[in-house]
């Protein structure tokens, strides 16, 4: 029994340390991509549509960076301190500060998915309503759509903190605040609001764009650009799918837990954050594929693209 407990503890500590390393690596990659995009925005001539695309990619990267910072400090670092009996980052039981940190954590996770929805929305408008030039203006996205996307992400998580009362300190093994897996309604709400609604929006836009391109001839629309938009949305769907697949172990475990009503194994929280870290790292590596047509990694650009 003692050997089993020690083995479980070692596995739990190892999972958290690996997760922290992956988060730091993904954070560095995200910063490099941000600097590359800003450099290209400053030094290159880029058409308005491509410039909007870069700003939206930059917005997604900012969401990732925010998530990595909160994930590392609020989850990984506080857990490491708890595992090694350090006094740093010890929250008071269910303190308001801890719950607010949990609220911010899930809000920035939500903002990642909703930022992809905004990228798809931009391409949806560009293909389906190409004559509405006012809505395809850079300032509309910078000062209206992007702030609204972040407001939506934070507003969606408020019920988890208030009405559903789902964000609490995950004692005794986890020294941070998060959504308690024992609360079925809170977990379902978080999954639907943060993940599945953006996926539905992205899928609906994709279907509409494909139908629009098929209905119109290549003479009526800039055909190559629209095909590129479809490819970008297809890649976004693949990215979201990868991030969702990474959570399959957690989903399977929770289904079994809710059906059997057995005691929750605390290690599932660490497996969840490890899956999120790996999935986010993969997405950060894939993210430049969404804007390769504006030559982020090259020194030339054709303004007619």
Q: What is the pLDDT of residue 301?
A: 45
User: How would you classify residue 162: left for phi > 0, otherwise alpha for psi between -120 and 50, otherwise beta?
Assistant: alpha
- The number of CA neighbours under 13 Å toward the Cβ of 89 is 21
Q: Where are the domains of the chain?
A: 2-294
Q: What is the pLDDT of residue 172?
A: 75
- CA–CA gap between residue 228 and residue 126 (Å, rounded): 12
Task: Find how far residue 226's CA is from the centre of its chain.
Answer: 25
Q: What is the pLDDT of residue 71?
A: 96
- CA–CA gap between residue 241 and residue 14 (Å, rounded): 27
**Buried/exposed code over 133-156 (b: 16+ C-beta within 10 A; e: otherwise):** eeebeeeebeeebbeebbebbeeb
Q: What is the pLDDT of residue 253?
A: 87
* CATH 3.10.580.10 holds for 2-294: no
Which of the residues in the chain have pLDDT under 70? 1-4, 87-93, 133, 216-225, 291-305
Q: What is the pLDDT of residue 227?
A: 74
pTM value is 0.89
């Amino acid at each position: 029994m003692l050997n089993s407990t020690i083995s479980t503890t070692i596995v739990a500590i190892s999972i958290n340390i690996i997760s922290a390393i992956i988060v730091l690596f993904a954070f560095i990659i995200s910063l490099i991509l941000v600097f590359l995009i800003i450099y290209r925005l400053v030094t290159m001539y880029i058409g308005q549509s491509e410039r909007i695309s870069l700003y939206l990619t930059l917005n997604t990267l900012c969401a990732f960076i925010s998530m990595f910072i909160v994930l590392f400090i609020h989850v990984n670092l506080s857990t490491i301190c708890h595992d090694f009996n350090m006094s740093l980052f010890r929250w008071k039981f269910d303190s308001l500060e801890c719950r607010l940190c949990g609220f911010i954590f899930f809000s920035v996770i939500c903002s990642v998915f909703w930022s992809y929805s905004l990228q798809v929305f931009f391409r949806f408008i560009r293909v389906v309503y190409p004559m509405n030039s006012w809505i395809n203006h850079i300032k509309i996205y910078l000062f209206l759509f992007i702030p609204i996307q972040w407001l939506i992400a934070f507003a969606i998580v408020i019920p988890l903190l208030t009405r559903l009362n789902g964000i609490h300190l995950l004692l005794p093994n986890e020294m941070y605040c998060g959504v308690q897996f024992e609360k079925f309604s809170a977990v379902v709400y978080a999954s639907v609001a943060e993940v599945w609604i953006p996926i539905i929006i992205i899928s609906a836009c994709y279907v509409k764009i494909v139908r629009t391109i098929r209905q119109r001839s290549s003479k009526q629309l800039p055909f190559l650009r629209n095909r590129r938009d479809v490819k970008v949305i297809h890649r976004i769907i693949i990215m979201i799918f990868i991030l969702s697949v990474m959570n399959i172990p957690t989903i399977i475990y929770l289904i079994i837990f809710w059906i059997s009503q057995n005691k929750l194994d605390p290690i599932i929280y660490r497996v969840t954050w490890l899956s999120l870290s790996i999935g986010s790292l993969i997405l950060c590596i894939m993210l430049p594929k969404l804007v390769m047509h504006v030559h982020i990694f090259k020194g030339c650009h054709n303004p007619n693209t």
